[in-house]
Structure 1
Amino acid sequence: MAEIEVNGGIVVYDLIGPEDGEVLTVTPGGRFSKDYPGVRPFAEALADRGKRVLIWDRPNTGASDVQLYGRSESHMRAETLAGIVTRLGLGPVVVLGGSGGARDSIVFAIEYPELVRKLLVWSIVGGAFSSMSLASVYVLDEIRTIRRGGIDGILALKGKAGSWSDLVRANPRNLQRLRDLGAAEFERVMWRWFEAYVPKATEAIPGVADHEIRGIDVPTLIVRGGEADIDHPKRTSFEVHALIRGSRLIEPPWPEDAWERAQEARDAGKGGIFDPWLKAVPTFLDFIDEPVEPAEGAAP
């Protein structure tokens, strides 16, 4: 485990695999850390095939510092990833992300195209239900609580994976960081981040305009959403595919109901929601290892 300071906050990360391997970044979803079940085994399986894999605790996950700034939480995290990749001299990289990590990765590809060689995304959140569900998970309780109970109320919030109190337990610096931020600024940021989750006809994914996604111009692999997955709708994967010129949409390399069954396994204490990712390793590596065709009009 290593640490790096980006935009005034410490970010915890690991680089797995041979030092001369092609660099891949892996970003999970939720407020889940790099050590949440399923993430590290996925990265290690990629590293076993010669890749150099970056896994990281995004701000507001795991042992990294709490940070609250930017147009949306995904934009903040994309900026943080750019800082890591640039400071460590890793780019351009192959960017992989699932669930909320897919959104973070798409924003990264939009904002920092010079740092991206290829993009692979799956379990993409979009549409009214899943966007509003995310608002409930990430910001609605926070807005209600900060107005009534201030930072102490935020620290007392229960019932969420990756709660603010969990972040303080994992990293005691976060207690003072939250107090220094203060209730007024915390609330201002939450209202701004809330705006990303308000469903809009011009946004296939929360907080990202369709015209921005159309600007992505790197080889892109998109895994179709599960038939009955209401959190990562099938429709959204088709919409993102339609927006990214030349992208490739593939059938899921895991069972059709993998998300639902993984949730059941997690709730029963028998697995994690990201465990199915391992099944995608051969398919993902095939795409990653394909030679990149020169851009139209580029010199041979």
Structure 2
Amino acid sequence: MPSVVINDGHVVYEILGDTGELIVLTPGGRYGMDIPGLRPLAEALVAGGHRVLLWDRPNCGASDVQFFGRTESHMRADTLRGLLTALELGPCVLAGGSGGARDSMLTAILYPELVSRLVLWNIVGGIYGTLNLGAHYILPSLQAVRGRGIEGLLRLREWRERVEANPRNRDRLLSLDREEFLRLSLLWLQAYVPKPGQTIPGVEDDLFDRIQAPTLIIRGGAKDLDHPKRTSLEVHCLIENSVLIDPPWPEDAWERAMEDFVTGRADHYNMFDTWVLAAPEILKFLAEQ
């Protein structure tokens, strides 16, 4: 895969399709572009006449690990700006689900000149969803470094996988300063403490006025604790030029995926397997806007 050095770290990417408007497609969590379910959506969008840029964000997939910025999403927004600038791409469509939705929204807030339209789904919010992010993505690494120093990161499966995908990451992790890592981890953790006036972790509500691009929001499932229906409704209220639609997948798709994930089954839903069902709605929105 090709890569570009952004902020002293390699960012791996792939562009699918030869013609048409570019869509930057971003998955959730710390998953890379090889996460099952993402490529079928990308291929459906290419079949609909678009190009699609897939990328491994810092700390995801085969890209270099990086640690800077007010939040991890701020770091990723800055990285995406650098990637699009280096590739001389944009303005373009930003489309993302879960953490990818948050990264896309923040990019549109900070760098609106890069964004022509915005497509969002599985938006994380609410008390459970927000606290769960901090517990999952920040606390294990913070506790490992407090107890064992920077070397403790290599005991965590998440960072071992980053080294397996990209051997450079071992030295990059071991070169981190313990005190600076702890300081940054505590800063990133603050974003995941629910606060009045922050529908999205680490992003003040009044900043959404900066999003002027036409926006499609696929609302969260009725009982989805990670991506609450209420949060997508609130984001719809915050983004003036937005359209809200019902999910094209079953209302309980995420809950069933979580059950399968916890029990080790894969016979019903992978977390992102249903995302391809959004392709017709996304293509319709882009054709009309």
- TM over 0.5: same fold? yes
Residue type of the partner of 1:6?
Answer: I
1:57-206 residue pairs with structure 2 within 5 A? 57-158=56-157, 163-206=158-201
Q: Is the 8 A contact 1:262 1:275 kept in 2?
A: no
Mapped partners of 2:259, 2:39: distance in 1: 21
1:285-296 residue pairs with structure 2 within 5 A? 285-291=283-289
Post-superposition offset of 1:83: 0.9
Which of 227, 239, 245 is equivalent to 2:234? 239
Mean Cα deviation higher: 258-267 or 139-148 = 258-267
- For structure 1, the 5+ residue unaligned runs are 292-300
**Structure 1 equivalent of residue 274 of structure 2:** 276
Aligned partner of residue 282 in structure 2, secondary structure: helix
Residue type of the partner of 2:277?
Answer: K
Q: Is the 8 A contact 1:262 1:276 kept in 2?
A: no
**Structure 2 equivalent of residue 10 of structure 1:** 10
Mapped partners of 2:259, 2:2: distance in 1: 33
- For structure 2, the 5+ residue unaligned runs are none
Post-superposition offset of 1:261: 2.2
Q: Kindly, what percent of the aligned residue pairs are identical?
A: 54
**What is the alpha-carbon root mean square deviation over aligned residues?**
1.1
Q: Is the 8 A contact 2:150 2:177 kept in 1?
A: yes
Mean Cα deviation higher: 231-240 or 180-189 = 180-189
1:216-235 residue pairs with structure 2 within 5 A? 216-235=211-230
Post-superposition offset of 1:245: 0.6
Give the TM-score taking structure 2 as reference length: 0.96
Post-superposition offset of 1:265: 4.3
Aligned partner of residue 89 in structure 2, secondary structure: coil
Aligned partner of residue 13 in structure 1, secondary structure: strand
Post-superposition offset of 1:182: 2.4
Q: Is the 8 A contact 1:96 1:119 kept in 2?
A: yes
Q: Is 2:41 aligned against 1:46? A: no
Q: Is 2:212 aligned against 1:212? A: no
Aligned partner of residue 231 in structure 1, secondary structure: coil
Equivalent residue pairs, number: 286
Aligned partner of residue 221 in structure 2, secondary structure: coil
Give the TM-score taking structure 1 as reference length: 0.93
